[in-house]
Amino acid sequence: MIITRNIRKVATFRTRAFTLLESLLVLAITSFLLLAFTGGVQQTFRGVQEKLFFLSFEHLYQDSQKLSNAQQKPLTLKVSDGQVTNGQESLTIPDTVKPSQSYSIEFSSAGGNSSLEKLTFSTKEGSVSYQLYIGSGRYKKTEN
């Protein structure tokens, strides 16, 4: 008996639904907030992607130096528009990073490079330069 009374109360209780106008308003506000936060997320993602590229480039540079020393033969690290490669490993350059020109760095069989070349990469925030030192295989990184 108690159960049937509760069922009758529930059956007589009318729930109100959103009108079409209210639904469209909520959808518009939600879409606006979602699009507003998406731009910030994409910008952060691009920044992280650029930082990871530069870290990977530095590791590839050092690995190429060690590899030429270990194999006791010269090795060439090439930087072009789309990728950085040493013949055995390659690294894809992100769309937001552009090298100022194509570069070719020669490592001797002792592991040192033979140029004072300055590698420059352009990003949306500025540029990143690597000044190479002769012989040691070391470099100086400058961010502008």
Q: What is the pLDDT of residues 9-19, one digit of tens each?
A: 665 666 676 78
Length of the chain (residues): 144
For residue 64, being part of any structural domain is answered with yes
For residue 13, being part of any structural domain is answered with no
* Phi, psi values for residue 47, rounded to 5°: -60, -45
Q: Return d(Cα 38, Cα 81) in angstroms, integer.
A: 28
For residue 131, being part of any structural domain is answered with yes
For residue 12, being part of any structural domain is answered with no
For residue 136, being part of any structural domain is answered with yes
For residue 90, being part of any structural domain is answered with yes
The whole domain housing 78 covers 23-143
Q: In total, how many domains does the chain have?
A: 1
For residue 17, being part of any structural domain is answered with no
* pLDDT digit string, tens, across residues 96-144: 999 999 999 888 888 788 778 899 999 988 999 999 888 777 889 999 8
For residue 8, being part of any structural domain is answered with no
Question: What DSSP state is assigned to residue 140?
Answer: E
pLDDT exceeding 70 applies to what percent of the chain?
Answer: 88
Task: Write down the pLDDT at residue 131.
Answer: 92
Burial annotation 102-121 (CB, 10 A radius, 16+ → b, else e): ebebebbeebbbeeebebbb
Here the CATH number for the domain that contains residue 68 is: 3.55.40
Query: pTM for the complete prediction?
Result: 0.73
